[in-house]
A and B are shown apart, each in its own frame.
Chain A
Amino acid sequence: MILSITHTGENATDLGYLLHKHPDNVFENNHWFGKTSVFYPVATEAQCTAALLLEVDPVNLVRGKQRSFTLEQYVNDRPYVASSFLSVALGDAFRTAMNGNCKLRPELVERKLSLSAHIAAVSCRAGEEMIRRLFEPLGYTCEVERFLLNHRFPDWGEATVFAVTLSGELTVQDLLTHLYVLLPVLDNTKHYYIAEDEVEKLLQKGERWLAQHPERNVITQRYLTYRKRMVQSALEKLAPLVEESAETQDEQDTVNEAQEQKAETPLRLNETRLQAALEAVRSFQPQAHRVIDLGCGEGNLLRLLVKERYLTEIVGVDVAVHTLNRAAERLRLEGASEAERQRLKLIQGSLVYRDARFSGFDVALLLEVIEHIDAPRLAALERVVFEHALPRRVVITTPNADYNSFWESLPAGQFRHRDHRFEWTRAEFEEWTNRVGTQYGYKVTRQGIGAEQEALGCPTQMAIFDKVSHAEREEKSSGARDTKTTD
């Protein structure tokens, strides 16, 4: 990885004083992650370029004692792109300049110079736009070079790796602190654990500019790798410094659910859906005591169910252990009383394996679950739920594909979520629910959830299956058959 800083104009080599590095020398330093060298490719009166070369040791990244936690892949871009390693190297090589000191020529520190910085490779998944959003408000002209992923396969498209040249009139100190903070923000992967002093580091390095930066929220979140508490603390400290007019937007770019959220958030659909499910539990007659949330995720529904005091047993099932751990955290199971832990249980289970632990419930809920199951395996889910778990009521919700055309942000033919294996139209849902109801002896009622659009229906569709009891069946088949004895 190489970063170069160029000063153009009279007494260009003043840059050497500011950086505290003589243009005729080579400066080397060792870090656990590699070696840095500072040297000057050009040093004339008209132009002076200092280069910081960082040779990351790729073997040490995975083998060294200082094991890095973010780098799981062995073939990785760390040796080549601007990352937090570069920030550390930068902070180390140019500490004096970054702190605004210059013993020999102190008058240069506050002088705005014609500077440019060239970063050979920036990895930024959020794209060129993010680079511009971060640097242009600081007064830079950004030149962003893009690359094909592989020139032999133009179909693969462009890489999210860029070569960036930033130019502007500013102090060296500002340039360095901008780079120090913003390069890892672009890269969005920290190579070390975020410690408490990270907030201080950010505030100190951004002292002169961060509060006024329109993207300060994004910068803070990314710099602190989305640690909620730390982000909040940093933003609170920044707040008094923020000018009234500044307007920012929250960012949610890492969440996989982004698309689903983007499409649905305005309607608060998730909330409506949970309420509808809750209503289906409340309306169960006689009162429900044992409920099971099949595919509970991080426990959104469980949180509501817990408040229904008449429920004596609430079980949340998910196939992913890490999701269950998150649910346990959010539901604060750790500190719960023994009684409460008896009442609310989380278990790992799969809806395509029959499971004795699913039996004996009044109500089973499958909210936004079936569409995550491959269609050929849906038959197994049906049998697990309706033949073996055999709850007295089953509540199922799933997207209404008819409604998708209402969302302009959702390209036609695309599902709402990357992991959806199918999305059903109302007709398809009706057909499936009717068939399942008949086959397993459940009475089906359906309803829409969310704001209805003419001809499209509601965004979510729900079906409630009620087990037709033995007695009801007898009643139905009029002229009760005479029961024969046998052996």
Chain B
Amino acid sequence: MEQETPKLQIEIPDFCVVALVGVSGSGKSTFASQHFLPTEVLSSDAFRAWVSDNENDQSATTDAFEALYSLAEVRLRRRKTVVIDATNVQEEARKRLMALAKAHDCHAVAIVINVPEYVCIERNKGRENRDFGAHVVHRQVRQLRDTLKSLKRERFRSVFVLRPENLDACEVTRTPLWTDRRTEKPPFDIIGDIHGCYDELVDLLTLLGYAPNDVGVWSHAEGRRAVFLGDLVDRGEKTVEVVRLVMAMTKAGNALCVPGNHDIKLMELLQTGKGNLNHGRALSMAQIEALEETERERFKSDFITFADSLVSHLWLDGGRLCVAHAGMTEAYMGRASGRVRSFALYGQTTGEVDEYGLPVRYPWAMDYRGTAMVVYGHTPVVEAEWLNNTINLDTGCVFGGKLSAMRYPEREIVQVPARKTYAESLRPLIPNTSEEWAVPAQWQHDELLSAQDILDKKFVATCLCGNVTIPAENATAALEVMSRFAVEPRWLIYLPPTMSPCETTNEGLYLEHPSGAFSYYRNTGVERVVCQRKHMGSRAVVVVCRDEAAARKRFGATEGHIGQCYTRTGRQFFDSQELHNGLLQEVQEALTRARFWEEHETDWVCLDAELLPWNAKAQGLLREQYAPVGVAGQTALRSSVTLTEQASARNPALAPLLAKLQQRQTDIEGYVEAYSRYCWEVPRLLDYRLAPFHLLATEGRTYFDRPHSWHIEALARVAEESEILLATEYLAVDVTDTDSEEAGTRWWLELTEAGGEGMVVKPHDFIVPASRGVLQPAVKVRGREYLRIIYGAEYTEPENLSRLRARGLGAKRSLAMREFALGVEALERFIQREPLRKVHECVFGVLALESEPVDPRL
């Protein structure tokens, strides 16, 4: 491939390893700087300098190359071209470079710079510190001469030799690899393994909206293109017809096609006459032999040309889609090598053989974590199912199954049944236990999450707040909680965010007051807010399905489970299984009676709620913390007051102290009253109350686009259907209207003076975008008495209150926003049927962020 013309075109793949070959002083670096990005060029001199501060220190050569190669590895992994600027005149050096290219499944090209020896010697003399003598250059020139002879057999993709006369008159052009077809744009209709099932193919194309044009080539009126996943031939009755149809469509630009292993085997048989006739190949041969001779020969030669031209896999649509016969891993996408081709044709096998004598296939899709959707075939399955953003469209048409297509980007599956069974599969298509198959493949896989998906520092991309960082140390804390206490991850599709209090009130008797919440929203441009009664219980997320079958289908639940009710840290709410089941059943029945399932066209729902009484969950906290403090305070202050009373009778100077102690006594009584109010005995299920306030999600949708008033009213209708369900009261307030605001404040005073916890103020719309992320989805305004159980019985004493006002809300608010974004993201991913690990990383993130140190009183 030597090129001697003065105007030299150097055409290289746009992703490759470029070896510059030439003796020291031949001008390699100058050439490289003219034709490549500075970051693409890895020069041995530069690396010698990196490791030793001296680019001529020959003793640093070994280390320099080690560093050079490790950087080259990283670049190639990231699919970036590297130019290796070293003499490369020894075969050893070039071997290492070839191995590098091979390990990253790309091509290597060589650009030789061949200038006369005296020029190099002169140049080296002119360089500072380049003190090696002419004998070194002379040796390199000799090695270069050998190199020029051996290069051709060294399996470089291309070799370009530049002489002084064309060194300045050449141009490097870059072309994409054949597999890199990212510029091809959808829409596509991707079609699974056909195996000679021509009639079904016609049925399917017709169903997809294709029709033959006047010369008999199938095309789509709207310009959609078909993508064939290979295995066009063998086993079926009309291999020749299928091949002709596909070839014509491909030639006309109406289709793309990747090769299947059968197509390649048949091509080899036709080319060489060698190969076995197993696996339905005999049928194909018979069909070809039955053709009239000239037609037959033309068919053979056309097919050979066609099959030979097919590229192992195609990387399409800006990198969002990858099609290959047997699948593709992310590391191989858009690359080229023997193993990439082999993966595309045969997939990955474990080397073992199963009970039917077939190779055991390695479930590569299980470990697939790529962003590109992979659509493939090869292994017949009963149903085309999603697994980690991959889908197998070989639904075994030739074995009497279906011929399947997927509309892309719509992700819609279109299928036609086989007209008959053309061949028997060695391995039964339908697995032995039908029960096992009632649980979708994604669930079977998802059941087991991987630690590597959640540990270490992670960035979770959210639609509301961009990337949310989950620091590694937070993840370790969450791992323990998740593993030891949380419910099965399948149910954990949402965790609620923490909630910030309103701005601190700086005067009067209050620490929190509605005016703080109203002004927050007013200042951020929100006019309408809702004030929602804050029930004093424990947060509960309730997932309920219409029936067991729905629970199994959507959540992969085991027998006897219709849902889950868990706390804000992901723990099952009730320890008692009886209460747990009872509550879920009660909610389920209420939803059924309210015709909720029909109204929302769903068979499951996820609700955000408060479960009362407080002692239902906080029994431990009450007995260990709240009650003992109350008892200690009561007895200590009772005694203090008595003794001080006696003493002040003897010494009037103690009167102010006595008054203060009496006030403290009132405070502690207020505290005991405050916490006792949220407790009641709960011997039966009917003694509990569940107050749902967010209708978070149902099949295929979330409700973050609906205002809060809609949520509360929709749930109030359900609440009417059950004794234990409690509707949540609310009041709409216009924060630009003083009267309206006053009404809100009055309502809060009424609620809290009657012993209520307080209220939550939310913007009218569920989500309000802000300059950075979103506004606080809610702020709480807690009652004066209630806050005794948060800030301590005596927080209302003026000297305490004044100090407590110095509280910063920034950290809490930032946390609330990030957790909210993660929670919303979790549900969005769940309803879009993303793999569980994608949902789990969000809820895991919420739990991880909760371990951040933030004042727990906020």
Residues on A facing B (Cβ under 8 Å): 1-2, 4, 24-26, 37, 39-43, 49, 51, 53, 58-59, 63, 73-77, 79-81, 118, 120-121, 123, 145, 147-150, 152-153, 155-157, 159-161, 163, 319-321, 348-357, 372, 376-377, 379-380, 383-384, 387-388, 470, 481-487
The number of residue pairs between A and B whose CB atoms lie closer than 8 Å in the complex comes to 208
Chain A residues in 8 Å Cβ range of B631: 121, 147-150, 159, 161
Cα–Cα, bound, A319→B485 (Å): 12
B633–A376 CB distance below 8 A: no
User: With the chains together, A29 CA to B623 CA distance in Å?
Assistant: 34
* C-alpha spacing A487/B856, complex, angstroms: 62
Given A41-B644, A487-B279, A487-B346: A58 in contact with B794 (beta carbons within 8 A): yes
Q: In the complex the two chains form, is A486's CB within 8 Å of B359's CB? A: yes
Q: Judge whether A120 and B483 touch: CB under 8 Å.
A: no
Contact with A along B374-387 (1 / 0, CB 8 A): 00000000000000
Q: Which secondary structure characterizes the binding site on chain B?
A: helix
Does residue B484 face the partner (Cβ distance < 8 Å to A)?
A: yes
How far, in whole Å, are A273 and B447 apart by their CA atoms in the complex? 32
> Hey, which chain A residues are within 8 Å of B657, CB to CB?
37, 53
Contact A481:B355 (CB < 8 A) given known A77-B632, A79-B794, A150-B672: yes
Enumerate 9 A-B pairs (CB-CB under 8 Å) in ascending A order. A41-B647, A49-B643, A147-B635, A161-B631, A161-B635, A355-B452, A387-B448, A481-B355, A481-B357
Q: Is B177 an interface residue (CB 8 A)?
A: no
- Once A74-B791, A161-B628, A351-B483 are accepted as A-B contacts, the answer to whether A321 and B477 lie under 8 Å apart by CB is yes
Query: Please, which residues of chain B bring their CB within 8 A of the CB of A80?
Result: 629, 632-633, 635-637
Q: How distant is A384 from chain B, measured CB to nearest CB, in Å? A: 7
The reply to whether B488 and A376 contact each other, CB–CB distance below 8 Å, is yes
B contact residues around A37 at 8 Å (CB) = 657
Q: Is the CB of A353 within 8 A of B358?
A: no
Closest to B279 in A: A487
Q: Which residues of A have CB within 8 Å of B676?
A: 150, 152-153
A53 and B627 within 8 A (CB)? no
Report the bound CA distance from A49 to B487 in whole Å. 58
Cα–Cα, bound, A354→B367 (Å): 11
Complex alpha-carbon distance, A350 and B628, angstroms:
36
Partner of B640, one of A53, A63, A387, A481: A53
Considering the chains assembled together, what is the distance between the CA atoms of A321 and B472 in angstroms? 12
* Interchain nearest-CB distance for A324 vs B (Å): 10
Give Cα A484–Cα B644 distance, bound, in whole angstroms: 98
The reply to whether A159 and B448 form a contact with Cβ atoms under 8 Å apart is no
**List of B residues within 8 angstroms of A149 by Cβ:** 623, 627-628, 630-631
Shortest distance in angstroms between B122's beta carbon and chain A's nearest beta carbon?
51
- When distances are taken between beta carbons in the complex, the residues of chain B under 8 Å from A53 are 640, 643-644, 657
Q: Bound state CA distance, A484 and B354, in angstroms?
A: 10
Q: Are B479 and A348 in contact (CB under 8 A)?
A: yes
B480 at the A/B interface (Cβ < 8 Å)?
yes
B426 at the interface (CB under 8 A from A): yes
Interface string of B611-637 (1 = CB under 8 A from A): 000000000001101111111110111
The 3 A-B pairs at the shortest CB distance, nearest first, are namely: A484-B357, A41-B646, A120-B639
* CB-based nearest B residue for A39: B647
Asked if A353 and B449 sit within 8 Å, CB to CB, the answer is: yes
A120 adjacent to B681 (CB under 8 Å): no
Contact B635 A74 (CB under 8 A): no
Name A349's closest neighbour in chain B (CB-CB). B451
Q: Mark B779-796, 1 if CB is under 8 A from A, else 0.
A: 000000000011111110
Closest-CB distance, B837 to chain A (whole angstroms):
10
| Known A-B contacts A120-B640, A355-B452; A74 and B447 likewise in contact (beta carbons under 8 Å) | no
Partner pick for B622 among A74, A77, A156, A356, CB 8 A cutoff: A156
Give chain A residues whose Cβ lies under 8 Å from the Cβ of B447: 379-380, 383
Q: Known pairs A121-B631, A123-B628, A387-B448; list 13 more (Cβ under 8 Å).
A: A49-B643, A51-B644, A53-B640, A53-B657, A59-B792, A63-B803, A74-B791, A80-B632, A120-B639, A147-B631, A319-B483, A348-B476, A353-B448
- In whole angstroms, what is the CA distance A384 to B451 when docked? 10
**Assembled-state Cα–Cα distance A112/B455 (Å):** 67
Closest to A158 in B: B631
Shortest A2–chain B CB gap in Å is 4
Contact A51 B643 (CB under 8 A): yes
Kindly report which residue of chain A lies nearest to residue B356, judged by CB atoms.
Answer: A484
Q: A39-B644, A163-B639, A321-B477 are in contact. Are A353 and B483 (CB under 8 A)?
A: yes
